[in-house]
Amino acid sequence: MNDFDGEFNKLKDVKRSEDARMISLKKVMARSNKKKFNILPLVFSSFTVFAVGLFLMMTVKEDTPVVESGKTIIDAQTVHEVPIVELTPRMFTVEYEVDNMDRGDHDYETLGTGRRIAVDPGVLDFHRGDVIYFTTPEYSNGNSGLNLPEHYISRVVALPGEKIEIKKGQIFIDDKKLKSFYSYPTVRGRNKEEYLKTVNPENSAMNEEDFEENMESIVVSKGSVFVIGDQWWRSIDSRHFGLLSLSKVEGKVIGYRMEQ
């Protein structure tokens, strides 16, 4: 081998070495690029997990009142207003002059107004919040001047098998707080705070203690319901005459009769 061949072989070895280094460098770069490419799905996946977790946290927060309703009974279906209804053949109408249901608009008072109350005698399955028309049970509190009407209207607040109790003016059903517009005492629709702000205590029909009425627990027996008038202080109801037998109920009050 001459000197030229030797130098040529050395150049070939150098080229092979350079080629090998280039190949290694390309592999490293390829691996690096591959890793960079795979980061995006990883980031997206992490963001998705975070978003789902945040949504679940928000959902739990929004559902908290429902979870807490394990200690509360919420009646959000019963409406405050008296509806106007069209009579069906089986309904009958009555006039009513007692203000035990007055929530600020002389509710259910019809005498002299031209309105009449529609009663459906065919409703036999009552629910909490229903207003019913019934024969007034015998009751005497020792007041000889107490003259109750033959028929009365009140609202169903406790059903057969339930325990009802009143603590500081708040109705509890089976030790759960009842939350509705009729679950605490009012004066023509105004609660304690609203009422006491607008009246002179010396001339007030009710004082602060009257809004904090208490009643020991009663279990509603089968075939009975517990009723209360919406305006407690003007009402004679199950707090006074006890449980109301369903045999005395003549029908469910549907609303005001639609004028013809």
Over the stretch 71-80, which tens digit does the pLDDT of each residue have? 999 999 999 9
pLDDT at residue 50 greater than cutoff 70: no
- Averaged over 170-199, what is the pLDDT? 94
| Digit-coded pLDDT (tens) for 194-246 | 998 888 877 777 888 889 999 999 999 999 999 999 999 999 999 999 999 99
- Averaged over 81-102, what is the pLDDT? 96
Angle formed at CA 92 by CA 89 and CA 97, multiple of 5 degrees: 160
Selected residue with higher pLDDT from 173 and 146: 173
pLDDT band at 65 (very low <50, low <70, confident <90, very high): very low
Looking at mean pLDDT, say which of 17-21, 44-48, 201-205 comes out highest.
201-205
Return the pLDDT at 142. Answer: 72
Return the pLDDT at 175. Answer: 97
- Averaged over 37-60, what is the pLDDT? 43
